[in-house]
Structure 1
Amino acid sequence: MVSERSLAVLRAIVQDYVESREPVGSKSIVERHAFGVSAATIRNDMAQLEDEELIAAPHTSSGRVPTDKGYRVFVDQLTDLRPLSPAQRHAIEAFLGQADDLDDVLARTVRMLSQLTNQVALAQYPLFGSSRVRHVEIVALAPSRLMSVLITDSGRVDQSLIELADAAEQAAAEEPYLAELRARLNAELIGVTLSEAPGVLARLLDGIPAPRRALADRIAARLARQLADSRQDRLVMAGTANLARTEGDFTGSIFPVLEAIEEQVTLLKLFGEMEIDEAGVAVRIGRENAGTGLEETSVVSSGYSAGGSLAHVGLLGPTRMDYSNNMAAVRAVARYLSRLLGED
C-alpha cells in the first residue's frame, strides 16, 4: 500500500520528469518541492514506489522515471484539471468561431489543439446516419461541369464536381431543367435521414423522361456517393510533426506509431473503447494500448455532440506528456464544439 506522501512524491516525479525529461532523484525532489523531510526519507518513499512498479530506473543513475502504471496512478489521482487561461479560451472561441462549415470547424480544431499542446491532435467526424438532409443544390459552373452540394442539419457541407460526358448531357443541363430537378430533390429529400436518403433518391429517378435520364442518373449517383461519405466514420488530424520532436521519448522507431496513425481504423476503434469519465475525459496510457502499435504513447480524448451524434476529439503523444494541461485542453475544446455545432 502506497502512503499519501509516497503518492505526493510520485506526483513530483511525474511533473519534474515531464518538464525536464531527465530521471528524477531524491536530492532534486527535496530542492524543488516542500516536503519538509530529508533526502533519505524521500529515497525510502521512492523505494516503496519502485516496489509497486510505479517508477523505475532507466539505467544505473540514481534517478527514477514514471512507469505506465505510475502515469495511470498519477492521472487517476488528478482531482482537478488545471483550467485553461482566459486568453486560451478566448483564442479557441475566436479561432473556431470563424469556421464556415463542419469540415472547416474540425480542421481548425485539430490545428488549435496541436498548437496548444504540442501533440498530435485528432478529431472524429460524427456518424451522420441519424442526421437529416437540410438542402441539396445543383449548380452549373460551366457548359460541361456541374457542382452538387449536400447540406445536412449537423452543419456538414459536401461539394462535388460532375463532369458532363457529352453534348447530349450538356444540352440536358439547361437551367430550367436544373431548377426543376433541384426542386424535386429538395421536395423529397429535405428532412430525410442520411441513412434513408439513398432509397428516396433511387425512387426519384422513376418517371424522368429518357432524354434527361442519363444526366439525372449521373447527378443521383454523385449525391449517393456524397451521402455515403457523410455517413463514413473518419478522422482529421494535425501535428504529426510533433512526434519527431519527441522522438527521444520512444525506445525504438516511431514508425509503428506513424503507421497506426495513418491506419485510422485503429484510432477509431481506440476512441470507441475509451470511456469518458465524470470529468469529461478518458486517457489510455502506454501498455493499455497493446496490440495497436501505440504501446509507447498515451491517448487523451473527450466527447462532443453534433447532429444528435457523439464523436471524439483527442490527443496522441508520448507517455511523457503534460496530462493535466492536455486533458483540460481536450475537454475545453470538446465542450466548445458541442456548443458551436449545437447552434447549427
Structure 2
Amino acid sequence: MSEERRLQVLRAIVQDYVSTSEPVGSKALLDRHQLGVSAATVRNDMAVLEEEGLIAAPHTSAGRVPTDAGYRVFVDRLSQVKPMSHAEKSAIREFLEQSLDLDDVVDRTARLLASLTQQVAVMQYPSLSRSSVRHVELVALAPQRLMVVLIVSSGRVEQRVLEVSEDLLTPEGEGLVADLRTRLNAEVAGHLLAEATQGLADLAEAFPQRDRETVRLVVQALTDAMAEQREERVVLAGTANLARTGADGLTLAPVLEALEQHVVLLRLLSTVDADASNAVAVRIGAENPYEGLHTTSMITTSYGTGAVAGLGVLGPTRMDYPSTMAAVRAVARYVSEILDQ
C-alpha cells in the first residue's frame, strides 16, 4: 500500500509540475489532490521519493520537481494514454484528408502534430527501401509514347515516359499494354521494392519477338524507379515552440544543433518496434543517445503499412506525456489510413 501511495504522490507531483512549472510542496499536493493522508505522511513519502532519485529540490526551494527517473516511472506506470475527444479525432482526419499529395501529407502532418502538442514535430518521409509495390499502371500517351507509373505503399508515385517503336494505339498495341500491365502486377504487386524486380529479368521472353524490345524498355524503367536511391529526409515543424520552454532547464543551443542534424533524428525515429501495434517510444533526458538532447524528451512511433517511417515530437522533459502520447499515436494512425487508401 505504501508503495502505491508513493506512486500516487509522484503522479500528483508530475501533473502539478507539468501544469504550473513551479516546484511542488506537500501543502500544494494536499490542496489540489484527494490523497486521503496527513501532511506528515505526504512529507515522508516525498522524502522516500527523493532518496530513490525520483524527485529533487531545485536550489533551496521547499518544493520538489520530478527527475528524469521520476518521469520514467510515471510514464511506465501509466494505466492508459489519455484518449482524444471525438471532435479532436474528427478534426485530425478532416485536416489530413485535404492533402493533395505525399509532400502535402508530410507537411500537414508535421504542422498538425506541432499544433496539437505545442512541441517540435518531427516526421520522416516514407522510405522507398521499406515500401512495397501497390500497383503498376501503363498508359499510352501517343502511338509511340508510353507512361509507366509505379505506385508504392508509402503513397509515393513514380512516373517514367518512354519512346517505343510500336504503335500502341492499334488493337495489337492496346492488347500488348493490357497484357504487360497484368503480367507486371502479377510479378511485383505486394513485394518490397528491393525484391520486386527479381521476377522481371526474363519477362520479355514470354512475349512475341516483335514486342520484346518494348517489354524490355518498360522493365528497365521500372527497375530504375525501384532501385533509385533517395536520401532519407525528415520534416520539422514548431521549432519556435522551444522558445517558450527556456525556463524548463532546456538548453536551446545544443537542441537546435541536434535538430539540424537529420541523421540524428532519423536514428531516433528508426528504433520503434514495428511489430508492436500502436507502439509509442518515450525517451526521457539522458535516455536520448545524443548528448545535445539530454534536456529533452522525445515521443515517437511508426506509421504506414509495415512501419515505413517514423514520426514524433521533441520537447522539454516537463511535458504532458499522456496527452502527447495520445496525439502522436492518433496522428500516426490517420496518416497510415490516408497512405493506404
* Structure-1 residue corresponding to 2:318: 320
Alignment partner, residue 7 of structure 1: 7
SS of residue matched to 1:80: coil
Cα shift at 1:101 = 4.2
- Report how many aligned residue pairs link the two structures: 329
Q: 1:131 — aligned with what? A: 132
Listed one character per residue, the Cα deviations across residues 63-117 of structure 1 (whole Å, up to 9, x for unaligned) are 2111110001111111022211111011012122233444433333222222111
In 2, the alpha carbon distance for the partners of 1:43 and 1:223 equals: 69
- Which of 174-183 and 262-271 deviates more? 174-183
SS of the counterpart of 2:90? Answer: helix
Structure 2 gap ranges (5+): 208-212
Q: Give the match's secondary structure for 1:104.
A: helix
Q: Is the 8 A contact 1:283 1:299 kept in 2?
A: yes
Q: Which moved more, 1:75-84 or 1:256-265?
A: 256-265
Matches within 5 A, 1:213-228: 226-228=225-227
Q: How does 1:104-115 map to 2 (within 5 A)?
A: 104-115=104-115
CA deviation digits over 1:172-208, x for unaligned, max 9?
9x9979999977974664341422455677778999x
Among the aligned pairs, what percent are the same residue? 50
Distance 1:58 1:182, change over 3 A: farther
Q: Say which SS state the counterpart of residue 330 (structure 2) adopts.
A: helix
Deviations along 1:143-189, one digit per CA (max 9) or x if unpaired, are: xxx9875322x262335698x9xxxx9x99x9979999977974664
TM-score (norm 2): 0.75
Equivalent residue for 1:190, pick from 171, 178, 185: 185
Give CA-to-partner distance per residue, 1:277-335, whole Å, 9 cap, x none: 8x7432121111134632222222334442x4554332222211100101111222233
Q: Which moved more, 1:14-23 or 1:237-246?
A: 237-246
Give the drift of 1:236.
3.8
| Matched residue, 1:63 | 63
Aligned to 1:86: 86
Code of the residue aligned with 1:255 in structure 2: it is L
Cα pair 1:6 1:45 within 8 Å, conserved:
yes
Where in structure 1 are there 5+ consecutive unaligned residues? Answer: 141-145, 208-212
Q: Which residue of 1 aligns with 2:300?
A: 301
Give the equivalent residue in structure 1 for 2:156.
157
SS in 1 for 2:267: helix
Q: Distance in 2 between matches of 1:62 and 1:261?
A: 41
Provide the C-alpha distance between the structure 1 equivalents of 2:9 and 2:23, rounded to a whole number of angstroms.
14
Compute the TM-score of the two structures, normalised by the length of structure 1. 0.74
Deviations 1:25-79 (A, max 9, x none): 2222222222244444322221111100001122111121111100011111110
Please give the alpha-carbon distance, in whole angstroms, between the structure 1 residues aligned to 2:240 and 2:225.
Answer: 31
Aligned partner of 1:325: which letter?
A: S
CA root-mean-square deviation: 4.3
Amino acid of the structure 2 residue aligned with 1:81: V
Contact 1:101 1:155 in 2 (8 A): no
Q: After TM superposition, give the deviation of residue 18 of structure 1 in Å.
A: 1.0
Distance in 2 of aligned mates of 1:139 and 1:114? 43
**Worse-superposed segment, 47-56 or 177-186:** 177-186
